[in-house]
Amino acid sequence: MRRAFVRGILLLLPLAITFVVLRWLFHAVTLMSEPGAARLLRMAGVPQGPFFVFLTAVFALVITLGLVLLVGLVGGNYFGKLAWGFFEKLLMRVPLVRWFYGSTRQIMDAFASPGSGAFREVVVVEYPRRGVWTLGFVTAPASGIIPSRDGEEWICVFLPTTPNPTSGYMVIVSRSETMTTSLTVDEGLKLIVSGGFIAPRPGDAQGAAARGEEVARR
C-alpha cells in the first residue's frame, strides 16, 4: 500500500504542477485584457451572470493570443523589425526600464535560441567547492574584465539552477579550470531542467566524442 501510494503521488504530482502553472499563465495573460473583453461583451448585449464571467476570461485569452500572434507576424517582416528596433531604442533610453528590459531580453534570447551563439559551449566548473562539478554555459570571453597573464584565458560562465535554468550565477573562471563537455547546448539545458534524468545514453559516446572535437575546434 505504501509503494502504491508513493507511485500515485509520483504520477499525479506532474499533473498538479502543470495545472498550477497553466492556471497561473491563464490568469496572467488575461489580467490586462479582461476589462476590454468585458466592455466588448457588454456592448454586444451579453447578459451578466456566471456565463458572462467565463466568456470574458475566454475572450480575453483569445484577444491576448491574437495580439501576441499579430506582434510575431508583424515583427517578422522588414518594416516590423525596424519599428520594433525603434521602440526598443526608446525603451533603452529610460534608465530603470533599460536595465530590466535589456537584461530580460538578453536572457530570453539566450534560452529561446540556444543555437544562435548566446551560449557558446557547455562546460563543467568545480563549484561551489573542490570535488563538486557544476554544469555551465560559456557566454563570453572575460578578457576585457580580467587582463590575461602568461597567456591565461578568462571566460564568463553562466551556472543555471535546476529545474529553472533562467536563474543562476555568473562566474568568471580561467579556461584551464573548466572541462569542455561533449554536450550540445540543447542537451545541457535538458539535463539541467530534468535534474539529471534526461542524460545522453552511454551508446552515444561516439557521436558525443565527435561533437566534443567540433566544440574544441571552435
pLDDT given at position 159: 92
φ and ψ at residue 139, rounded to 5 degrees: -105, -40
Would you put residue 124 in left (φ > 0), alpha (ψ -120 to 50) or beta?
Answer: beta
φ and ψ at residue 54, rounded to 5 degrees: -65, -45
pTM: 0.52
Query: What is the Cα–Cα distance from 66 to 55, expressed in whole angstroms?
Result: 16
Asked whether 165 and 111 are in contact (CB, 8 A), the reply is: yes
Average pLDDT of every residue of the chain: 77
Closest listed residue to residue 141, CA positions, set 122, 126, 125, 157: 157
Residue 215 predicted with pLDDT over 80:
no
Name the more confident of 81 and 216: 81
Amino acid at 64: T
